[in-house]
Amino acid sequence: MKSLPEIHAYWQEHNTCELKSTATQAVLGDGNPHADVVFIGEAPGKNEDLVGKPFIGAAGKFLSEMLESIKMKREDIYITNVVKYRPPNNRDPLPEEKETCRAWLNEELAAIKPKLIVFLGRHAMGNFFPDEKISAVHGKLLKKKIASLPTEYFLPLYHPAAALYNGGLREALLEDFQKIPLALKKITTS
């Protein structure tokens, strides 16, 4: 089994994502390599691309506040993105861009072995549950055996960037976030 630094070094060299040519750098997953919870976002934005760390802009600040509300810190979790390079002008990542980063993400998850995977938004969820709609399943603990993944438990949430400026989504996200500790408790006692 490769370590996280080995996984990142390998894929930074061997990844064939075309976004590499326009991005400043790869934005690697960040946080606790032994975390019980891994959060998966969509793709880096402008600040993340410049600094090389995920979720450091406005959406990241909102995420840190929500973590605080469940007595967790960024250092307690691991956070990464489906796509490791910034799409130009923050457009949605294309299916082939997600595909070229898929093995990278799966290896990260296999190395960390979280108990729970939290999807931040529809792109992260769609990578593993292509037939579900985020509006229908947000805040619901999903259980599914997926080959090569270390856990069967997934919690889809609205993306914090989408919820920042939309009152309805914000309320739903704040409420759904409280389900993270409940889900963890359920997983560890089942």
Nearer to ligand URA, 17 or 187 (CB): 17
Tell me how long the chain is: 190
The residue from 59, 67, 72, 134 that contacts ligand URA (CB under 6 A) is 59
Nearer to ligand URA, 116 or 163 (CB): 163
CA-CA distance, 51 to 73, in Å (whole number)? Answer: 20
CB of 59 to ligand URA, least distance (A): 5
Size of the site for ligand URA (CB under 6 A): 11
CB 139 within 8 A of CB 155: yes
Closer to ligand URA at the Cβ: 121 or 187? 121
Please name the residues in contact with 189: beta carbons below 8 A apart, sequence gap of 6 or more.
none
The stretch among 40-48, 68-76, 94-102, 104-112 that binds ligand URA (CB under 6 A) is 40-48
Q: 165: number of CA atoms within 13 Å, CB side?
A: 2
Amino acid at 118: V
Interactions with ligand URA, residue window 84-123 (CB under 6 A): none
- The least distance separating ligand URA from the CB of residue 120, rounded to whole angstroms, comes to 6
Contacts of 181 (CB under 8 A, 6+ apart): 70, 71
Which residue from 7, 43, 149, 183 is in contact with ligand URA, where contact means CB under 6 A? 43
Among 11, 28, 39, 45, contact with ligand URA (rule: CB under 6 A): 45
Q: What order do you get walking across the sheet with 116-120 strand by strand?
A: 30-31, 78-81, 37-41, 116-120, 153-157, 142-143
CB of residue 3 to ligand URA, shortest distance in Å: 22
Query: Between 153 and 158, whose beta carbon lies closer to ligand URA?
Result: 158
Segment 130 to 169, residues that bind ligand URA, using CB under 6 A: 161
What tokens appear for 54 in the block? 């995920």
Amino acid at 128: F
